[in-house]
Amino acid sequence: MATKQASAPTPLTREKLIDLLNEDLSREYQAIIAYVNYSQVLKGAQYMNIADELAVHATEELAHAIALANHIDYLGGMPTVIPKPVKTSEKNEDMLRFDLENERVTIANYRRRIKQCDELNEFAIGESIREILMQEQDHLIALATALGIDPPNPGIAD
């Protein structure tokens, strides 16, 4: 029978941070693709403002992806080329909810990543992610507003 040891948390390394930043980069690609698709598939007069806003989000996510790829390269890693999967729907509310959930997960991860960057004394990368985080928070608020709900508290990733 396998004995489960109370494992001490494995110390964070630069290699681990590269892997985590590549996960973030995959999420940014996912966001770009989702916003490109949803900004055009959304239908109906009352959704045109948010559709325009989603097209702006797409360009901001692209800037985030480039920033992350820059940090990964600086750390000696290879920036990934693989996005996380993107859900599609023809229903306006589905698309907004998919985006809201993606932003929530992204924010929870960036909150953790800032702490991890600081832990490794990578303060400049942490600063860059703080700026990205501010925009993700704006995205979350825009989507929640369009859905007529309060912005969810994203929490912080493990």
Q: Which residues bind Fe ion (CB under 5 A)?
A: 28, 61, 64, 136, 139
* C-alpha pair distances (Å), 88 with each of 37, 40, 99, 114, 135: 8, 12, 11, 31, 23
Of the pair 13, 81, the CB lying nearest Fe ion is at 81
Q: Minimum distance from CB of 132 to Fe ion (Å)?
A: 6
In the chain, at which residue ranges do the beta strands (DSSP E only) sit? none
Q: C-beta of 29: minimal distance to Fe ion in Å?
A: 10
Closer to Fe ion by CB, 9 or 104: give it: 104
Given the complex with Fe ion, which of 8 and 87 has the nearer CB atom?
A: 87
| Smallest distance, Fe ion to C-beta of residue 136, A | 4
Q: Sign of dihedral through CA atoms 145, 40, 69, 100?
A: positive
Q: Which of 136, 156, 154, 148 is nearest to 67 (CA)?
A: 136
Q: Considering the complex, what minimum distance in angstroms separates the CB of residue 92 from Fe ion? A: 18
Measured between alpha carbons, how far is 136 from 73 in angstroms, rounded to an integer?
Answer: 23
Instruction: For Fe ion, give the closer residue by CB, 122 or 139.
Output: 139
